[in-house]
Amino acid sequence: MEKKKESLFDSNFREILASELVSIAGGLIAGSLLAWYTNQLILLPGILILLPGFLEMRGNISGSFASRISSGLFLKVIKPNRIKTHIIKGNLLASFFLALVVSLTLGILAFAFNYFFLQLVTWKIIIIPLIAGIIANAIEIPLTLFTTLYLFKKGYDPNNIMAPFITSTGDVISIVALLIGVFIL
Amino acid sequence: MKRIHHDLKKVQKLERKKYHPLIHQVHKKHQISKRTLFYIKEYGSHSHVPRTIIRESIKILIFASILSSLGGLAFEQIKEIFISITPLIILLPTLNGMIGGYGGIFSSKFATLLHEHKQKETLKKALKKLMLQLLIISLITAFSASLLALGISSLKHPATPNLAAKIIAITLIDTLLLITILFCISIGAGIYVWKKQEDPNNFLIPITTSIADFGNMIILAVLIVLFF
């Protein structure tokens, strides 16, 4: 019986728990920013329609980006000291392009839902995620690349560290970028 | 060595979509893993890297955006109640990230278990252990997150014991329900994809994270209406 308990709380358990505790810290900082700027951000019609997708985008795009770079590093197809290769350049370009497309899609969806379900016409809701997407990904994508390469050079497995890193930094960067987008417009 | 380079050049020239027997031959002959050969074929010097990535990702990303926006729409409907409860605003990004994260962990680990070709009994045992571990961890993190959110929000307005109990209950119920749904979807879809002789990783991770986000917004919205 005791042996069963021991195996349940193994190193796997500890690793997942530690990484999840790190990622909830980023989420709480982002949530606190949302609560602090409720009047400027959440009161905007349709912002809650695009918010979950906007927060998810960093995991879907930067997470896959980090994972592809990590695989390339382990397979020795990518060298940690050489950034100007066609694989890395292609990955950067594709990630930025996907981020722009997803941001625009989210904006259009929020506009459409606002129009059809809430009978509101708010053009701003298309532009805000686009501006925020450009700002957030201009920070997040290079940060992901350099952190992945740095971790690999230091002998760590980026796969174990990048997911919680992207979640925690991405949440904060995304909310700050959305706030900047709102303030610009 | 020259022979390896020659064979790898041939792999690079393969058409991206099709499985080619050359991969198996090079794998057997030079002991290069199939994963390496797949990567070389996919992102080799002949391939247009951005086009390959965009083509493979765009559909699932747009699908995920639609699903998330539908979840967000449910939340937009109860905006007035939502913004009056500060701890819930603080918890929203945390819950979304956390549950999506567990979906991703479970999917990738389940896919690895399937790839390892374990016997049915061993697979069942490993799966049971993984589910128990994730359930315990998710309850610990959900409870800690709700306590921290209550602590942070008390800097603005201290929560009453009744409100605090409701916030903790909502967080725990939401997490438990979604984790259970994600287990069922991952196992069902994972086995289905595996039987079709495809890699469950490519399908399970994006689908579970999207369902986690969508489900989280819907269940949270229902719980807020029920509790407040």
Band (pLDDT 50/70/90 cuts) for residue A2 is very low
DSSP state of B36: H
Q: Please state, in angstroms and as integers, the Cα–Cα distance from residue A63 to each residue in A74, A159, B30, following that order.
A: 17, 10, 32
Chain B closest-CA separation from residue A43 CA (Å): 8
Q: How far apart are CA A41 and CA A45, in angstroms?
A: 9
Residues 6+ apart with CB under 8 A from A4: none
Q: B140 touching A, CB under 8 A?
A: yes
Q: Is B45 on the interface with A (CB under 8 A)?
A: yes
Nearest-angstrom CA–CA distance, B83 and B64: 25
Domains of chain A in start order, with CATH, are 7-184 (1.10.357.20)
pLDDT per residue of chain B (228 residues) written in tens, 0 to 9: 566 666 666 666 665 555 566 766 766 676 666 666 666 666 666 667 888 888 878 888 898 889 889 888 888 888 888 888 999 999 998 998 888 888 878 887 887 788 776 678 888 888 899 899 999 999 999 999 999 999 999 988 888 999 999 999 999 999 999 999 999 998 998 888 878 766 676 677 777 877 888 888 899 999 999 998
Mean pLDDT of chain A: 87
Question: Which residues 55-114 of chain B have a CB within 8 Å of chain A?
Answer: 57-58, 61-62, 64-66, 68-69, 71-73, 75-76, 79, 82-83, 86, 89-98, 100-102, 104-105
CB neighbour list of residue B196: distance below 8 Å, 6 or more residues apart: none
Per-residue pLDDT at A71 = 81
**Interchain proximity A101–B58, CB inside 8 Å:** yes
Quote ipTM for the complex.
0.86
Quote the distance between the C-alpha of residue B129 and its chain's center: 19
- Distance, CA of A129 to CA of B106 (rounded, Å): 30
Query: B35 CB near a chain A CB, below 8 Å?
Result: yes
A46 neighbors A110 (Cβ within 8 angstroms): yes
CB-CB contact of B11 with B26 (8 Å) = yes
Distances (CA, A) of B176 to B45, B179, B215: 47, 5, 12
List pLDDT tens digits, range A80-128: 888 888 889 999 999 999 999 999 999 999 999 999 988 888 889 999 9
Question: Which pLDDT belongs to residue B138?
Answer: 93
- Range B33-40, long-range pairs (CB < 8 A, 24+ positions): B35/A71, B35/A75, B36/A75, B36/A77, B37/B11, B39/A71, B39/A72, B39/A75, B39/A77, B40/A77, B40/B8, B40/B11, B40/B12
Nearest to B145 among A13, A24, A93 (CB): A24
- pLDDT for res B4: 64
Q: What is the pLDDT of residue A6?
A: 55
Q: Which residue has the higher pLDDT, B152 or A7?
A: B152
Verify whether the Cβ–Cβ distance B132 to A8 is below 8 Å: yes
| Whole-number Cα distances in Å, A182 to A42, A45, A103, A177 | 11, 12, 14, 9
Task: Write the burial class of residue B196 (CB in 10 Å: 0-12 exposed, 13-18 middle, 19+ buried).
Answer: exposed
Q: How many CB pairs under 8 A join A and B?
A: 205
Measured between beta carbons, the chain B residues lying within 8 angstroms of A7 are 129
Which of B49, B76, B90 has the CB atom closest to A48's CB atom? B76
Report the distance separating Cα A158 and Cα A172, nearest Å.
21
Domains and CATH numbers, chain B: 2-43 (no CATH), 57-227 (1.10.357.20)
The answer to whether B53 contacts chain A (CB < 8 Å) is yes
- How sure is the predictor about A174, in pLDDT bands with cuts at 50, 70 and 90? very high
Contact B48 A98 (CB under 8 A): no
Please name the residue that has the structure tokens 């900082």.
Answer: A29
Mutation site, B37, B49, B220, interface A, largest A CB count within 10 A: B49
Asked whether the beta carbons of A13 and B139 are under 8 A apart, the reply is: no
Q: Which residues of A touch B136 (CB under 8 A)?
A: 8, 13
Helix pair angle (B21-30, B2-12), 10° resolution = 160
The pLDDT assigned to B50 comes to 86
- Burial readout B87-120 (b: 16 or more C-beta within 10 A, e: otherwise): bbbbbbbbbbbbbbbbbbbbbbbbbebbeeeeee
CA distance B220 to B228: 12
Q: How many residues does chain A have?
A: 185
User: Among A27-31, A46-50, A140-144, B110-114, which stretch is predicted with the lowest mean pLDDT?
Assistant: B110-114
